Amino acid sequence: MALTDLLLMGRERDLTSERGVSCAGELPAASDPDLVERARAARSALGSKVMILGHHYQRDEVIEFADITGDSFKLAQAAAENPQAEYIIFCGVHFMAESADVLTTANQKVILPDLAAGCSMADMASANQVDDCWNQLAKIGIAAKTIPVTYMNSSAAIKSFTGKNGGTICTSSNAKSAMEWAFTQGEKILFLPDQHLGRNTAVLSMGLSLADCVVWNPWKPMGGLTEAELRAAKVILWRGHCSVHGRFSAQNVADVRERVPGVKVLVHPECQHEVVSIADVVGSTEKIIQTVANSPAGSKWAIGTELNLVQRLSRTMPDKEILFLDKTVCYCSTMNRIDLPHLVWAMESLVQGQLVNQIIVPEDVRKYSKLALERMLAL
């Protein structure tokens, strides 16, 4: 089966190539009573030549076998710091595996257990769309004074565009530093691909106004903006968002505060501006974990982030009352695709000498993606 047949919603893979085989019909059954034991046996057989990375949003059945857990950049860095691991099994989504491939050596091979594990936000900005935007900004004479700042949650192709055009990558925890740096390099910022993180950072962390920000809609001519609006803007936000964090509303916050007296609302900066602006605490995935861990026993938290993580925090910190901010249960549909059968299949294939689902970033894309990442690290 071709990779494009596996991609959700017709996702475009502009410059990234993958090599691997489909696992259709080859997965062990999720009901297999020996599945956990098979995972343990395969993991033991592979030993130190394999490193398993597990993003915080993964299922517990997968996290159990992770050598390291963390956010996307922490995991990619961990892979880069372990050159003796010949294989990196990344239990996350596509852009994360790409970043690991960019940062690791040529001798290391990155594997994504399910090629359909993508990111809807990353897919909201294709290389062709971004190039078209940049060309239009150049046509009206503002590209030269615009610095791209691209969120980690983006394809290698978009990271490469950023590196080529003098920009930097950011994470949810260092977006302010990245944007401050960008304003020392130019007069405007093109923030990709998450409009909410860009807006929240610009307005709530840097003191800019909502009027200083405009949203570029790639599906409309000139991004749906006038030349005057683009010239006046300080931050041009790409029209992208996280399908999980974007669902939380100000009404959710009001409801939980009414329902649970004394509760504190803790949200990720990918949430909508009206949610972030009224939350008690705002922070990255790592900050969310640390905030709850460091809070006193008996404290109450309503958390606006991916459900797997919220449930894990609730289970591992029973001395605190931890709630999902939205009463409607919602997992990240693409993050949740990697399950134990896919992980077992990937590991057992390696035990048998078969490399599956390798993620390969072409050298020209790798070069500029790495440059953009190195600019972030230099900050």
pLDDT of residue 5: 32
Tell me what the mean pLDDT of segment 169-189 comes to: 96
What tens digit of pLDDT does each residue of 51-104 get?
999 988 888 999 999 999 988 888 888 988 999 999 999 999 999 999 999 999
For residues 312 and 249, membership in a common domain is answered with: yes
- Measured CA to CA, the distance from residue 44 to residue 67 in angstroms comes to 12
- Measured CA to CA, the distance from residue 111 to residue 127 in angstroms comes to 23
CATH code (residue 267): 3.40.50.10800
What tens digit of pLDDT does each residue of 89-109 get?
999 999 999 999 999 999 999
For residues 213 and 314, membership in a common domain is answered with: no
For residues 234 and 148, membership in a common domain is answered with: yes
Does 7 map to a domain?
Answer: no
Q: Which structural domain range is residue 108 located in? A: 17-117+334-361
State how many domains the chain has: 3
For residues 111 and 137, membership in a common domain is answered with: no
Does 12 map to a domain?
Answer: no
Asked whether residue 12 carries a pLDDT value surpassing 50, the answer given is: no
pLDDT of residue 29: 82
For residues 205 and 178, membership in a common domain is answered with: yes
CATH code (residue 141): 3.40.50
Does 10 map to a domain?
Answer: no
- Specify whether the CB–CB gap between 245 and 270 falls below 8 A: yes
What tens digit of pLDDT does each residue of 280-318 get?
999 999 999 999 999 999 999 999 998 989 999 999 999
For residues 191 and 53, membership in a common domain is answered with: no
What tens digit of pLDDT does each residue of 335-346 get?
778 999 999 999
pLDDT of residue 1: 32
Three-class SS of the chain: CCHHHHCHHHCCCCCCEEECCCCCCCCCCCCCCCHHHHHHHHHHHHHHHEEEEEECCCCHHHHCCCCEEECHHHHHHHHHCCCCCCEEEEECCHHHHHHHHHHCCCCCEEECCCCCCCCCCHHHCCHHHHHHHHHHHHHCCCHHHEEEEEECCCCHHHHHHHHHCCCEEECCCCHHHHHHHHHHHCCEEEEECCHHHHHHHHHHHCCCCHHHEEEECCCCHHHHCCHHHHHHCCEEEECCCCCCHHHCCHHHHHHHHHHCCCCEEEECCCCCHHHHCCCCEECCHHHHHHHHHCCCCCCEEEEECCHHHHHHHHHHCCCCEEEECCCCCCCCCCHHHCCHHHHHHHHHHHHCCCCCCEEECCHHHHHHHHHHHHHHHHC
pLDDT of residue 57: 85
Does 49 map to a domain?
Answer: yes
Tell me what the mean pLDDT of segment 179-188 comes to: 98
Does 126 map to a domain?
Answer: yes
Asked whether residue 14 carries a pLDDT value surpassing 70, the answer given is: no
pLDDT of residue 329: 66
Tell me what the mean pLDDT of segment 165-189 comes to: 96
Does 153 map to a domain?
Answer: yes
pLDDT of residue 11: 35
Alpha carbon of residue 60 to chain centroid? 19
The rounded mean pLDDT for the chain is: 91
Backbone angles phi, psi at 218, to 5 degrees: -65, -10
For residues 313 and 266, membership in a common domain is answered with: yes
Asked whether residue 4 carries a pLDDT value surpassing 50, the answer given is: no
What tens digit of pLDDT does each residue of 221-277 get?
999 999 999 999 999 999 999 988 999 999 999 999 999 999 999 999 999 999 999
For residues 233 and 257, membership in a common domain is answered with: no
**Is the whole-model pTM more than 0.85?**
yes
For residues 141 and 235, membership in a common domain is answered with: yes
Name the band, by pLDDT with cuts 50, 70 and 90, for residue 379: confident
For residues 234 and 129, membership in a common domain is answered with: yes
For residues 148 and 228, membership in a common domain is answered with: yes
Does 354 map to a domain?
Answer: yes
Tell me what the mean pLDDT of segment 145-162 comes to: 97
Does 267 map to a domain?
Answer: yes
For residues 229 and 373, membership in a common domain is answered with: yes
pLDDT of residue 25: 53
